[in-house]
Structure 1
């Protein structure tokens, strides 16, 4: 078992200042050092075009371009490197897992990935210049693995496949853009239809009305369906699916098996986080081990978070934070059944 942590990042201010502050935080960190080492071992299979990236980010989320400028000024590296590592446009990502279950007033999400990709940053951000306040775990600093905004819109994504990519945004940047700019499910669906997608992912959205929608988004098509659970395959765009889907269907069947007992937020959290229920995964070496479990309650604006399995969640009152009351914790701690290295904790 490995003791791990996520730092809690709290910020109220402009996107540029948020980026600058975070750049100073990570400049000499394992996060940056490990990423530099990774790029030395393999050349990127894409080219960064500053003008193109700036233009399309300003079209969908101008504040995030300002955040990238802040990162650039703080880290003091070429803008092309900043866009490659934090821009979320036209870049590549690794395969991953993930499972999501929703009820009328909650969304519970298991984030399944490889530890060496995990950056251990949990963000509360209230922009003063543009966009809604958001809460959620970070991916590549600017992106969000899942989250909720001040209007009660919650979002999580599940990987489908990375073949046949096109120019577009990757999952964690799409998540960030939707949460900052959309007040409800209808607006989120409209934006997900408009955004260019780099890879194939399902985006699950829930708001205060209590109806969850699954947006099956690929570089070729975006289709919408309703369901209260989702793993790593499309139901409508079956041609986009990977060949091997046994694990995806196994976790889906586990949720179906236990859903009659998962009628409230606590029981749903236990179904997802308990290691004996069949949804939580320990496939860390295969890029599909559960690192965190997130829970979002749109009507109460409360968020739950746990690192590792069989955990008691930390519960945050997001409304209290929006009202100006800072979180007293600096870190969230947990335990993972692996000996693999985490990107923010040690040299990889």
Structure 2
């Protein structure tokens, strides 16, 4: 019996740790397409950082109701609120962080405090930002903005695509941008899409936006599509089928969702999930 069998190692682990063979993992990151009708996002990171929960939440202190994936218990990584405002964010850099709020709580602030793009712009100008993130926001009127933020500056634009590099705050960019630009170019080629075309583009492995490189912190954790017309979201975790969730049903007292069903091709655990 060899070391691989004795240690119960996978072929990949054996090549890496015993045969000392190195491969270049297929990198990835968060990708977003937004226009006056559509908002779709791939959230890519490591499963250990993922709460594995979706919250329907209606504040009792005057805030706006919303639904979205939870981040770090109290934060939101994307979502849609009762006014039809959708939100997501993409990582940009860790350069010279400042005292301020981090992305996932800013995401919740936007969902609970903002009715439209103007509200969101005002909030993002007012808040102190800890680090470099871009916030992609669309309201029920079809207006959208991509807010490039850092601890030093905030810039708004109306392009339809966002990956993991700044287009306007270029001095804030990381040095390694080739993979982010590659995904940007893939999404930028999308023209006048249907919802089905977007779902296919963001989930097909042969296109280049969806990857399952989870151990390299570069796997697609979830793909989500937000629809302002009926306050709904379609989400899948990893691969598998999409799950349709309705904020409107929740507000009407008809929501009975207890779980979503999806498939993620990894043995790594989510923060709050124990595999059977």
TM range (shorter): 0.7 to 0.9
Give the whole-Å Cα distance in 1 for the aligned partners of 2:202 and 2:90.
15
Of 320, 332, 336, 2:260 maps to 332
Give the secondary structure class of the aligned counterpart of 2:83. coil
Q: Aligned residue pairs: how many?
A: 248
Give the whole-Å Cα distance in 2 for the aligned partners of 1:156 and 1:172.
9
5 Å matches for 1:302-341? 302-309=232-239, 311-326=240-255, 328-341=256-269
Conservation of the 8 A alpha-carbon contact between 2:102 and 2:129: yes
Give the whole-Å Cα distance in 1 for the aligned partners of 2:212 and 2:121.
32
Q: Does 1:294 align with 2:224?
A: yes
In angstroms, what is the RMSD of aligned CA positions?
Answer: 1.6
Structure-2 residue corresponding to 1:219:
151
Give the secondary structure class of the aligned counterpart of 2:216. coil
Give 1:346 deviation, angstroms: 4.3
Give the secondary structure class of the aligned counterpart of 1:224. strand
Q: Does 1:266 align with 2:266?
A: no
Structure-2 residue corresponding to 1:190:
122
5 Å matches for 1:45-124? 97-124=29-56
Structure-2 residue corresponding to 1:51:
none
Q: Which deviations, in whole Å up to 9, do the C-alpha atoms of 1:77-111 show, x marking residues without a partner?
A: xxxxxxxxxxxxxxxxxxx9311111322210111
Conservation of the 8 A alpha-carbon contact between 1:103 and 1:263: no
Give the whole-Å Cα distance in 2 for the aligned partners of 1:294 and 1:288.
17
Q: Which deviations, in whole Å up to 9, do the C-alpha atoms of 1:177-232 show, x marking residues without a partner?
A: 11100000110011011110000000000011213210000000001111111000
After the TM superposition, which segments of 4 or more aligned residues of structure 1 sit over 3 Å from their partners? none
Structure-1 residue corresponding to 2:68:
136
Structure-2 residue corresponding to 1:23:
none
Give 1:266 deviation, angstroms: 2.2
Structure 2 residues without counterparts, runs of 5 or longer = 1-27
Give the whole-Å Cα distance in 2 for the aligned partners of 1:106 and 1:256.
14
Give the whole-Å Cα distance in 2 for the aligned partners of 1:340 and 1:129.
38
Return the TM-score normalized by structure 2: 0.86
Structure 1 residues without counterparts, runs of 5 or longer = 1-95
Conservation of the 8 A alpha-carbon contact between 2:241 and 2:261: no
